[in-house]
Structure 1
Amino acid sequence: MLLFLALPASAGGFRLSENCPPGFERLADDVCRMVTLYDQYGSLRGRGVGGTRTGLPPRRDGFTAQQIDLGRYLFFDPILSADGSVSCASCHDPALGLADGRGRSTGLHGETLSRGAPTLWNSAFLSRFFWDARAESLEAQLPGPLYAAGEMGNNPDDLLAALRNNAEYPALFRAAFGAGSGPIDTAQVYTALAAFEASLISLNSRYDRYAHGDHNALDAEEIAGLNVFRSFVARCAECHTPPLFTNQQVAVIGTPEPEGLPRDIGAQATFGSPKLRGAFKVPTLRNIARTAPYMHSGRFETLAEVVAFYNDGRGHAVPEDEPLQLHWHIVSPELAAHELDQLVAFLGTLTDERFLPRVPTRVPSGLTPGGRSARAALTPTGEAP
C-alpha cells in the first residue's frame, strides 16, 4: 500500500486538496467515485433512439483527490509546453466550454492547426479520443498534444527536467503518488492529467432534470425539439445518443472543409480503411451551445447552420469527384423551419457548467496560469492555490 503524504503547504503556499471534486464521493480507500442519478438506471436500454432514462457506459474514476488536484495544476500550468507559453487550458478553456472558440486551434507559435479542440466534458466515459479516434485512453491521448511540434512542442526528457527541477512539483507528486513513488516520471504526469480530465462531469443540465422526471424543466418548444431529435425522421439520437449524446463511433457525414482546404481524411488514417475517408468521431452535444464553431474544422459558426446542413440532404455538400461513403444515418429529413428552430432550442438545454474546474490563481511554475481567457473564469474573490 502506498503511503500518501498529508504535507503542509510548501514555501510557495501550494498544497493538494484532500477533498474530492463536486459530484464525487470519497470512498474508504481514499479514491473519488462519481455520483450521478443515471446510476439508478443500471443499463443501456433505450439506446437506439435515445431513451431518456438510460444508463451510462463504464467510466474512468477511482483516482485520489490529491491526484485530481495535481492534475488540475498541471492542466493550467504552461510549464508543460516547450517554451512555457501555452497550457492544456489554452485549447481547453473553462471559459469557452472546455474548448477554445476557434474553428481550428492555434499551436505553440501561433500556427493554425488542422482541426479544432474538442470539449473535454465527460471524457471519463469515452473509449476513443481525438477527432480521428486514434487513442484509446486518456493517458494514451496525452502524448499527442504534449509532444506534437505544432501544439505544445515539448519532449519527455525536457518535460520531466522542468518538473523535477521545479521548487514545488516534486513534493506535490509525492503527495499524490506516495512517499516511495520515486522521481517524477511520465506515467505519473499522464495519470494526474487523466485524473483531472476524468473529473470534468456535466450531467446536470435542464435536459437531465427533465429526463429524471421534472417535466417542468423544459418548455414546450424545447420538448418539441427533443421529440424531433429522437424521431425516426431526423434520427439525431441514433448517433448523438443520450445521456452522453454520442454513440462514440466514427461516421462519414460529408461536412465541407473550410474554403481552400483539402479533404481531411480523418479516421481513414487511424484504421487504414478507405471506407472511413472523411470519418470523424461523433462528438458529444453536452454544452454544445458553449463550443462554437462546429465540426472538426469549425466549418459552421452556429447551431442553426449545423441543423440546416443535416436538413439539406444526404451528400449535398460532397463534390462529385469525392469518394465518400456516407454513414447510413445521414438522410434527407426535410424538416420544416419551425422544427429546425425547435432542435436548436433543445440543444440549448444540454448546457451544464456547474462543475467547472477551479482555475488556480497561481501555478507551481510561477508562469501565468490557464487558457487564453482563463482569467474570465476565475471566481470573483479568486482562489487560494
Structure 2
Amino acid sequence: MIARTNMITRLFTFAAMLVGIGQVGAQNLVALPKAALKQSDTPEKIELGKKLYFDPRLSATGTVSCNSCHNLMEGGDDGRATSMGVNGLTGPRNAPTVWNAVFQASQFWDGRAVTLEEQAKGPMVADVEMGMLGHDQVISRIKDIAGYTNDFQIAFKNDDAVTIENAVEAIAAFERTLITPNSALDRYLDGDEHAMSETQIRGMELFESIGCTECHSGPALNGWDIGSDAEFVEFPRFDTSPFVQAYDLATDLGRSQATGDNTDDHLFKTPTLRNVTLTAPYLHNGRVSSLAETCRLMASTQLDVELTDREADDLTSFMSALEGEFPEMTFPRLPSRSGESVIQAKVGSAINDQS
C-alpha cells in the first residue's frame, strides 16, 4: 500500500510539472498577515501585558513566568520535551510556540481554550505550571505592587482595574504583537520567485502533492483562516505505522481529556508550522528531536506514505522557508515593592537551615 501511494505521489508531481504547474505547492498557502492587533490593543495595554508575560512573580514560587515555557528569545517554546513548572514539576505535553499563536482558532494541544485571553488564565493556576492556588491569589499579589496598580489604571482607565480579566486581556494584547511575517515563503507567495531555493520549492510541491495541506494550510499552515472554527485532527490516523509504538503516540488521548467525550479520543489541534525549525523537540509529547524524522513520522501516521531520504530532506528544506522576521523587542522594567518581597519566605525552613 505504501509503495503504491508513493508511486501515485510521484506521478502526480511529474504530471504537474509537465502541465506547467510550477507552484502547485502554493495553492493552499497564504502569506502571513503583518499585523493582528485589535482596536482596543493600546500601547499602554500592550506594555502592561509584556510586563505580566515576563514576570515570574505570577507563579507560586516566583520562579516561572509565561516566558519560561514560551521563550521569546528563541522559538517561543522552551526546547524541552515537556515544560518544567514550579518546584521542578513537569507537565505531560510539549509547550507550543507562542509566536503567531493569534492565528489559530483554539489554544493548547487539546483546544480547551478558544482565545488567547482564556489560554493565559490556565497556566497561572495549574499545579505543574505556575502553581497559584487561584486567580484571587494572582490578583492579590499584583495589587501588592503599587507600580502595577498604576499601570492597570492607565491601561484600562479605571481606578479598580486590577482584575484577572484585565490581566489576561493585557497579556493577550501583547501576544497579538508576536507575529513573524516576511519569511521566504511569504515573499515567494507575494511574487518574488527567487525568494525560495529550488530545494525549498521542490519540498513545497511535495508538501502539497502528498496531502500535507489537508491540515497544514492557510497563513499559519495550521488550517486557520479568519473567522474559522476550531478543528481537530485524529492523530495518529494510521495506527499500524511503526512510528506509533516507537514514539508512544497512542497513550495521550488528546481532546477527550478536556471534553470528557470519548468520541474526541486522539483528536488534537493542528499546530502551526511557522518557525518550526526553531521549536524542536516535536509533537505533543516532545518525543521526536529531529524535524526530518518528524516529517517521516507525519507522512507515515497521517498519510500512509513512506518518504525517501531525499523527500524528507526536501520537506525539511521547505520548513526552513517558514522562518519569519522576528520583531525587535526590549525587555520591560518590572515594578517592585520597595524594600519588601511579594513572595513569602518559608521562615520555618530558613531557621531550621541555620541551626
TM-score with structure 1 setting the length: 0.72
What is the SS of the residue equivalent to 2:335? coil
- Mind listing any 5+ residue stretches in structure 1 that lack a counterpart? 1-47, 315-329, 368-385
In 2, distance between residues paired with 1:359 and 1:72?
8
Match of 1:164 among 143, 157, 165: 143
1:51 pairs with 2:12: no
What is the SS of the residue equivalent to 2:86? coil
In 1, distance between residues paired with 2:82 and 2:233?
20
Per-residue CA deviation, residues 135-191 of structure 1 (Å, 9 max, x unaligned), is 11111112210111111011222211211121311111111111x342411111011
Residue identity in the other structure for 2:334: V
1:176 pairs with 2:155: yes
Larger deviation: 252-261 or 276-285?
A: 252-261
Task: Assess, with a 3 A threshold, how the Cα gap between structure 1 residues 76 and 140 changes in structure 2: closer, same or farther.
Answer: same
Match of 1:263 among 240, 251, 260: 251
In 2, distance between residues paired with 1:243 and 1:261?
27
Residue identity in the other structure for 1:168: G
Deviation at 1:199, TM superposition (A): 1.3
Aligned residues between the structures? 301
Match of 1:241 among 201, 217, 222: 217
Match of 2:94 among 116, 122, 145: 116
Task: Assess, with a 3 A threshold, how the Cα gap between structure 1 residues 356 and 102 changes in structure 2: closer, same or farther.
Answer: farther
Across the aligned residues of Structure 1 and Structure 2, the Cα RMSD in angstroms comes to 2.7
TM-score with structure 2 setting the length: 0.78
1:251 pairs with 2:251: no
In 2, distance between residues paired with 1:138 and 1:257?
33
Per-residue CA deviation, residues 339-364 of structure 1 (Å, 9 max, x unaligned), is 2211000001111142154333x322
What is the SS of the residue equivalent to 2:88? coil
Task: Assess, with a 3 A threshold, how the Cα gap between structure 1 residues 257 and 359 changes in structure 2: closer, same or farther.
Answer: farther
Match of 1:308 in 2: 296
Match of 1:332 among 304, 309, 323: 304
Match of 1:286 in 2: 274
Deviation at 1:337, TM superposition (A): 2.2
Residue identity in the other structure for 1:364: P
Conserved? CA contact 1:108–1:151, under 8 Å? yes
Conserved? CA contact 1:258–1:297, under 8 Å? no
Conserved? CA contact 1:130–1:141, under 8 Å? yes
Task: Assess, with a 3 A threshold, how the Cα gap between structure 1 residues 262 and 238 changes in structure 2: closer, same or farther.
Answer: closer
In 2, distance between residues paired with 1:259 and 1:55?
32
What is the SS of the residue equivalent to 2:233? strand
* 1:3-152 aligned within 5 A: 50-53=27-30, 61-62=38-39, 63-152=41-130
Percent of counterpart pairs with the same letter?
A: 37
Conserved? CA contact 1:200–1:357, under 8 Å? no
Deviation at 1:302, TM superposition (A): 1.0
- Mind listing any 5+ residue stretches in structure 2 that lack a counterpart? 1-24, 225-230, 237-242, 339-355
In 1, distance between residues paired with 2:53 and 2:193?
38
In 2, distance between residues paired with 1:260 and 1:223?
32
Deviation at 1:88, TM superposition (A): 0.5
In 1, distance between residues paired with 2:312 and 2:72?
29
Residue identity in the other structure for 1:170: T
Match of 2:6 in 1: none
Q: Which one has the bigger helix percentage?
A: 2
Task: Assess, with a 3 A threshold, how the Cα gap between structure 1 residues 236 and 139 changes in structure 2: closer, same or farther.
Answer: same
Match of 1:364 in 2: 335
Q: Flag the structure with larger Rg.
A: 2
Task: Assess, with a 3 A threshold, how the Cα gap between structure 1 residues 50 and 103 changes in structure 2: closer, same or farther.
Answer: farther
